[in-house]
Structure 1
């Protein structure tokens, strides 16, 4: 019995000393936007949580034209990977979230860097906009994605469409 208690105590010490499992939540957001208020409809991702090494994560990424103007309508323009202030994020539509591990987190960060560091004029309203950026990230975490032509400039509608294509997310469309 004494040996059993020593083994049990050793196992209990390992369990208690082991840090809680790390977890990062990846959320998919849209912003309704309006030409009148100076912000166009937009979609972006938010990552919050803790990595396995204890690093706290509170990051967000979206993809946009470096400057808005008529040139955006004519073809590729300079791009930017942008981040939003927390007060802005709380006023957006959160469509769905998924839990990711460290490997997925770092894969997403590499994808963000790939878009950020793309050479030349990489933003294109019809082929490489915020929807395509968020779609690339969604694919990395196993979300089924497509890009219906009539939704390429309507982020909220597009994320609602993606929600419908992925019932495993347990999410409902945002009104």
Structure 2
């Protein structure tokens, strides 16, 4: 009877230890690109995916964000147009290129969400193909988590190539280039 009680107390203690452990609660930030396809009717695109659990509250996170033009037209070629933050369906995400994934803190998660809202809620026309597009949005999110980022002109319309470039700029990621 005594050994059974000890075993039960040990299990309770182990459960209490594990349920309060920050290692169990973690949000991961993934960086994705989409190659684009005339058949699908979508242009190349970069976006982020946030998945996991917040340590502070236990809230489950399953979110994704990508900056885009509110509507696609030839106006995009001549300057800023109305913008939006697009949320992708899960079935779409599975067909994209995941370049790398990193764990982030709750504080970084909240900073990313606040930054997304600032981009989404900015008044006026802020999507600009060469100066403020999905790559710039994803780059800002990468900066928030401490990654090195730059924007070579020849890559501003090539999300996969640009994210491969960011991978190379950040060898600490130990990530492979996406082919």
Same fold (TM over 0.5): yes
- Residues of 1 paired with 2:40 and 2:141: CA distance? 28
Aligned to 1:75: 79
Report the CA distance between 1:171 and its aligned residue.
0.2
Report the CA distance between 1:144 and its aligned residue.
0.4
- Report the TM-score, using the length of structure 1 for normalisation: 0.91
- SS at 1:81's partner residue? strand
- Matching residue within 133, 154, 158 for 1:154: 158
Aligned to 2:4: none
Within a 5 Å distance, the mapping from 1:25-174 to structure 2 comes to 25-52=28-55, 53-174=57-178
- Residues of 2 paired with 1:41 and 1:168: CA distance? 26
**Runs of 4 or more off by more than 4 Å in structure 1?**
none
Unaligned ranges ≥5, structure 1: 1-8
Deviation track 1:11-65 (CA, whole Å, cap 9, x = no partner) reads: x83x631423210000000000023431000000000000011100000000000
- Residues of 2 paired with 1:62 and 1:74: CA distance? 21
- SS at 1:35's partner residue? coil
Aligned residues: 165
Aligned to 1:6: none
Deviation track 1:103-146 (CA, whole Å, cap 9, x = no partner) reads: 00000000000100111001000000000000000000011000
RMSD value, Cα = 1.4
Aligned to 1:17: 16
